[in-house]
Structure formats: C-alpha cells, structure tokens
Amino acid sequence: MRYALLICDDESVSPSNEELAADPRHQAWQADLDRRGAKLVGARLRPVADATTVRVREGRPWSPTVRSPRPRTSSAAC
C-alpha cells in the first residue's frame, strides 16, 4: 500500500530548502525515511503566485488563464 503525505503551510513563513537541509530534526526525519525505504519521491509545490485554476466545462478541462483550442463545428450546409 502507498500513501501520499502533503504538508501544507503558510509559504510566507515556511523555511527555505537550505534551512530545511540544515535543520537537525529534518535531517533525522529524512534519514529515517531513507533507512526504511519509505520515501519514493518528494518535491515542494510551486508558490501560490504560480498557481492556475482549472475548471471543467462541458466535460473538458478549462482554465481562465490558459487558452486551449476548442473543436470547431461547421455550420455550413452540405
């Protein structure tokens, strides 16, 4: 069985990658995960300012900030 661990915090006060790497508690936690083979992959999320809202319209993903080509329908008589 696999689990996902998400740690959410206020990015305006969260430590930098360098600060985390220097923190002995974080180092111990990382070492424990490595020792047990419990960590498959890990990465920080991008800042909130980089976020994109995605909604579903007519069963298709839609974003107000990203334009995607919509299928054209012909209205001409054959």
What would the pLDDT profile of 4-15 be if each residue is shown by its tens digit? 888 888 888 888
Whether the full predicted model's pTM is greater than 0.75, yes or no, is: no
Residue at 2 is within a domain:
no
Q: In angstroms, rounded to a whole number, what is the distance separating the alpha carbons of residues 52 and 77?
A: 40
Q: Give the number of domains in the chain.
A: 1
Residue at 77 is within a domain:
no
- Residue-wise pLDDT for 12-70, tens only, equals 888 888 999 999 999 999 999 999 998 888 888 888 888 888 888 888 888 776 555 55
Q: In angstroms, rounded to a whole number, what is the distance separating the alpha carbons of residues 74 and 70?
A: 13
Q: Which domain holds residue 23?
A: 17-60
According to the model, what pLDDT value does residue 49 have? Answer: 85
According to the model, what pLDDT value does residue 70 have? Answer: 57
Provide the residue type at 14 as one letter: S
According to the model, what pLDDT value does residue 34 have? Answer: 92
Residue at 11 is within a domain:
no
Residue 41 has which token pair? 């992959």
